[in-house]
């Protein structure tokens, strides 16, 4: 690790980039601590790639500032590029150069001693090392870009839409490499809209919308603060309407309603020698947080109603994403 490893890996202060009267990024204050895996999420057009361009000094801010590994990208651009590995969105290859050539170019530029064959093997391209990159599929080009980003064991790995064009095996490879690099000591910062992978990779998440950071935290923290309910499903045996009213009165419950009854079960009435049917019913309770589950179950059982089964369906990352960016956005990332 570098001497800058105690500084935040990324630190921006009111970072703003405008094109004419339109702001691609506005007042972005973001801190990514050294050693974490940070997911930078947002709809297409939110400004994710613009942010990365500012961090790498591919573009200059209109206002505000940013520091990367304790350095100002504008003043220390060579050092920043030496210590950062980047997989850019929309990576383009040199059509007539081989995979080996691409790796050798980055290795020489960074004055590193990496083995191109080992890096390409790591991303699953060992068999194509001497093939011209112009013949590579989109997924293979993405793997090649990832291998190039790994050159020199960077202190910070920036992955812009790293899952783009990859099959499930390639997606798993990216996840494994992100964790391996982080275990080595690198900070990993990736932007993505492939939400299903986020929970499997990230320590923290920031959600960018229309150039502004609208939410940040762990998945659990985002669930707790988002206007999206956790669903508690219960199967009850007893006075269902009373159970619903009881649940609705519990602090932290936003809604409670009965679902269709489950299959009736037959019980022997030993006193009269008759069979009676007891229909268990299912009920859905919307909770502000999963922690309210026990309070709901206890209240229903205290009311003399048996709770046979429970299950909790927490908000998915997708539902959190929609909740924080509920007006949606279309189009490509702002430049």
pLDDT band for position 179 (cuts 50, 70, 90): very high
Q: Let me know whether 106 and 180 are in one domain.
A: yes
Q: Let me know whether 187 and 126 are in one domain.
A: yes
As a whole number, mean pLDDT of residues 237-257 equals: 91
% of the chain beyond a pLDDT of 90: 61
Q: Let me know whether 76 and 182 are in one domain.
A: yes
Per-residue pLDDT at 197? 74
Give yes or no for a contact between 177 and 159, defined as CB atoms under 8 angstroms apart.
no
Q: Let me know whether 206 and 238 are in one domain.
A: no
Give the Å distances, CA to CA, from 274 to 116, 239, 278, 280: 80, 22, 13, 19
Q: Let me know whether 43 and 85 are in one domain.
A: yes
In a domain, 55, yes or no: yes
pLDDT band for position 269 (cuts 50, 70, 90): very low
- In whole angstroms, give the CA distance from residue 170 to residue 124: 8
Q: Let me know whether 239 and 205 are in one domain.
A: no
Query: Tell me, what CATH number does 260's domain have?
Result: 3.30.70.1340
Identify which has the larger pLDDT, 140 or 193.
140
In a domain, 320, yes or no: no
Per-residue pLDDT at 316? 64
Per-residue pLDDT at 260? 62
Give yes or no for a contact between 244 and 78, defined as CB atoms under 8 angstroms apart.
no
As a whole number, mean pLDDT of residues 198-225 equals: 86
Give yes or no for a contact between 103 and 123, defined as CB atoms under 8 angstroms apart.
no
In a domain, 321, yes or no: no
Q: In terms of residue numbers, what domain contains 87?
A: 10-225
Q: Let me know whether 179 and 307 are in one domain.
A: no
In a domain, 1, yes or no: no
Which helix or strand (DSSP H or E) is residue 140 part of? helix 138-149
Q: Let me know whether 207 and 239 are in one domain.
A: no
Predicted TM-score of the model (pTM): 0.74
As a whole number, mean pLDDT of residues 279-288 equals: 83
In a domain, 310, yes or no: yes
Q: Let me know whether 106 and 247 are in one domain.
A: no
* Six-digit token string for 149: 């980003």
- In whole angstroms, give the CA distance from residue 82 to residue 257: 58
Q: Let me know whether 203 and 259 are in one domain.
A: no
Per-residue pLDDT at 266? 41
In a domain, 164, yes or no: yes
Per-residue pLDDT at 25? 95
Q: Let me know whether 67 and 193 are in one domain.
A: yes
- H helix count then E strand count, the chain: 11, 13
% of the chain beyond a pLDDT of 70: 87
Give the Å distances, CA to CA, from 199 to 163, 178, 195, 196, 318: 14, 13, 8, 7, 11
Letter string b/e over residues 68-104, b meaning 16 or more CB atoms within 10 A of that residue's CB: bbbbebeebeebbbbbbbbbbbebebeeeebbbbbbe
Per-residue pLDDT at 275? 39
């Amino acid at each position: 690790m570098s001497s800058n490893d105690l500084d935040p890996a990324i630190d921006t202060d009111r970072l703003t980039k405008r094109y004419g009267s339109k702001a691609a990024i506005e007042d972005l204050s973001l801190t990514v601590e050294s050693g974490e895996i940070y997911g930078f999420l947002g709809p297409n057009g939110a400004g994710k790639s613009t942010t990365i361009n500012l961090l790498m000094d591919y573009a200059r801010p209109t206002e505000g500032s940013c520091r990367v590994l304790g350095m100002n990208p504008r003043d220390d651009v060579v050092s920043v590029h030496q210590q950062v590995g980047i997989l850019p969105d929309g990576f383009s290859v040199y059509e007539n150069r081989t995979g080996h050539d691409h790796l050798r170019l980055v290795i020489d530029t960074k004055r590193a001693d990496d083995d191109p064959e080992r890096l390409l093997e790591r991303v699953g391209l060992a068999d194509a090392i001497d093939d011209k990159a112009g013949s590579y599929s989109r997924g293979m080009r993405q793997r090649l870009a990832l291998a190039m980003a790994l050159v020199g064991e960077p202190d910070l790995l920036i992955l812009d839409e790293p899952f783009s064009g990859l099959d499930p095996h390639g997606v798993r490879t990216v996840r494994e490499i992100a964790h391996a690099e982080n275990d080595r000591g690198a900070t990993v910062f990736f932007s993505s809209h492939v939400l299903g992978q986020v929970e499997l990779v990230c320590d923290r998440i920031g959600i960018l919308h229309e150039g502004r950071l609208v939410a940040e935290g762990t998945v659990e923290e985002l669930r707790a603060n988002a206007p999206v309910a956790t669903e508690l499903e219960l199967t009850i045996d007893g006075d269902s309407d009373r159970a619903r009213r009881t649940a609705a009165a519990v602090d932290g419950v936003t809604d409670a309603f009965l679902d269709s009854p489950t299959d009736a079960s037959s019980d022997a009435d030993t006193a009269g020698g008759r069979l009676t049917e007891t229909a268990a019913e299912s009920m859905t309770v919307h909770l502000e947080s999963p922690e309210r589950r026990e309070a709901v179950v206890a209240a229903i059982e205290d009311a003399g109603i048996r709770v046979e089964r429970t299950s909790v369906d927490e908000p998915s990352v997708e539902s959190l994403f929609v909740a924080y960016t509920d007006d949606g956005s279309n189009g490509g990332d702002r430049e």
